[in-house]
Chain A
Amino acid sequence: MTPFTQHAGVAMPLRRGNIDTDTIIPSREMRTVSRSGLAAGLFAPWRYSDPDARCENPDFVFNQPAYRDASILLAGENFGCGSSREHAVWALLESGFRAIVAPSFATIFHNNAQRNGLLTVELADSAIDALTQWVSADPQRNTVRIDLDICTIAYDPHQAVLSFSIDATTRNMLLNGLDEIGLTEQSMDRIAAFEERDQPTRPWVYLEER
């Protein structure tokens, strides 16, 4: 997993609440048994006036030249609700996004993001309003800088830096780009010991090998 330490880039506002994973990447855009090949399907229902023909909708923010290289998404509450599809995270990453800033995230999306090095930052709506205002004035010039080491977002030099809080475990995973499976594999003896003491209490859990 790619670590996340600091990142500066163009931020794209898409402030609707409850943006669901069916909208981030519709089921019909998940065409192969793979984590890749998903970028063109990102936000397909909004991004294209005709998704099959890939005919772009010029009004959608991502199609505006100033936001085409956006790497930070400013979103609304409960971002990533709905389906558990990790493809939503893979599609965002493949499209160049490194961080999503929103008032809140759906749990499964948050967990999927963390396991792929996509930072999710929770900020108050009013703080995201201020960020949106700054960015919208001149998206290419008014970039945003996120520092996970000190948990801050810097934008307008005339404004105070924004601080955010993040779960210590999540932060550690992201900063170090840790592979969770590898990490847990170091505790296999603990897992075996758990089974040994659990089996007499809950024998019905342990189905016999065929």
Chain B
Amino acid sequence: MATTLFDKLWHEHEVMALSERESLLYIDRIFLHERTGSVALNSLLENNRVVRRRRHAFCTMDHIVDTLPGRSDDTLMPSGREFIVATRSAAHETGIQLFDIADKDQGIVHVISPELGIALPGLSLICPDSHTCTLGGLGALAWGVGSTEAEHALATSTLRVIKPRNMRVNFTGALGSGVTAKDLILYTIRSLSAAGGAGYAIEFVGPAIDALPVESRLTLCNMATELSAFTALIAPDQKVLDFCRGRRFAPEGSVWDQAAAHWQALRSDEGACFDAVRQIDTGSLKPQLSWGTSPQHCIDWDDSVPAVSDAPDEKSAMAWQRAQDYMGVTGGSQLSDYRLDAVFIGSCTNSRLSDLQLAASYLRRTGHRVAKGVKALCVPGSGQVKRAAEAEGLDDIFRSAGFEWREPGCSMCFFAGGESFGQGVRVASTTNRNFEGRQGLGVRTHIASPLTVVASACAGYLVADTSV
């Protein structure tokens, strides 16, 4: 019978059926970080349990650790040190591999797991972090869980999972120049809604997907959680295999050959049945900008902010009004009407080498500098990204344009009590969430691609790159 890629992966990892809809799934890799992983590890130890396969579990410091140069266990977050010390101690006690603050491979969990070959096509991978769906870009079966489920996976190498339904999202048409995977996913969320993927595992297909470089596929799948999807997937192709080959934890020699052959068969069969199919035309797609406080509140960068009176129903009207009050924008205005205070390039969505190259190429091409009064941050996603960027001189380009160049980590994607932009500050950000208060109390976040963010930084207001 014709089978979807998701169903193949589900079946491949099924230890046993628990009921009609629930299965015990084998978990190939577990990744933890100091924010929520520490709770899982501590609870495991308190219950006198051990990590069943410690070589299959990894941990990084990314969420709380500072990104300022010369950082240590002390953090700007008041109790941050406690999380870092507790995570280190629990990682040592359980014997799992930790990428500690000074480790050359330290970085944001969803940036380093593909980089190190910990995430590979077809592997099941969980992390107590909602953006774990990022790894679907490699064709991995990866999804975010809570701390209790992470503890379950550590203790048993499995999870009890209710099977989601299958959705296919077909992108027709090619992406125009200056339009990125970030614009594609923002447009998808805007089209399907922030709950549009609830209960589904989504497979992204189409010519636009085939053409996407691997890092862009990671960006696309990263925000499947902003659709409330269980996860997203892209069938692995030769590009993915080339990307994975030679990575630190990837197989070698004859085992590589066996793996590569296995991975090439990981695709939905012709005629496989999906519970839902969505079609999105990407041919005329423009750079996207968020205007509100949900990732579904997005518009083409040169469109007007929607008027509350145009809302489809009373509940949307109330939500739009609330969002516009919080964001300090009014219906009918253009986002370029508002002065920008800060920009942020980074996060598990957009902190990989190609993201930094894209932003730096704009600075190099235009010779523009960050506009006066705009605070600008660039935070590479990992030690590897940072070193590769520095080898190309990207750090100099960012610095001379007026950006701060930071150490790897999640940084100001969210506010944990340490660094923030400040009340009422308007930020253009390559991150994934524009929720009220996400980047700090009263901070007004506009999410966009690295290209749009860097162009906005130089303009001093929200604008797409119109230099090409």
Contact = CB atoms under 8 A, between A and B. Distances in A.
A86 B16 contact: no
Max chain B C-beta neighbours (<10 A), residue from A51, A85, A104, A181: A181
B210 interface: no
Contacts of B92: none
B146 interface: yes
B26 A194 contact: yes
A107 B417 contact: no
A203 B258 contact: yes
Interface in A149-201: 167-170, 180-181, 183-185, 187-188, 190-191, 194-195, 198, 201
A16 B319 contact: yes
Given A115-B148, A184-B160, A185-B156, A33 B86 contact: yes
B18 A169 contact: yes
Interface in B302-324: 315, 318-319, 322
B156 A115 contact: no
Given A78-B198, A181-B49, A207-B56, A191 B130 contact: no
A191 B157 contact: yes
Contacts of A112: 146, 148-149
B36 A84 contact: yes
A191 B156 contact: yes
A27 B415 contact: yes
Interface residues of A, number: 61
A86 B36 contact: yes
A89 interface: yes
B16 to A, nearest CB: 5
Given A22-B414, A23-B435, A116 B148 contact: yes
A77 B417 CA distance: 29
Nearest to B118: A207
Interface of A: 15-18, 20, 22-23, 26-28, 30-35, 45, 51, 76-78, 81-86, 89, 104, 106-108, 111-112, 115-116, 167-170, 180-181, 183-185, 187-188, 190-191, 194-195, 198, 201-205, 207-210
7 contacts: A18-B194, A33-B39, A81-B194, A84-B144, A169-B22, A187-B16, A191-B158
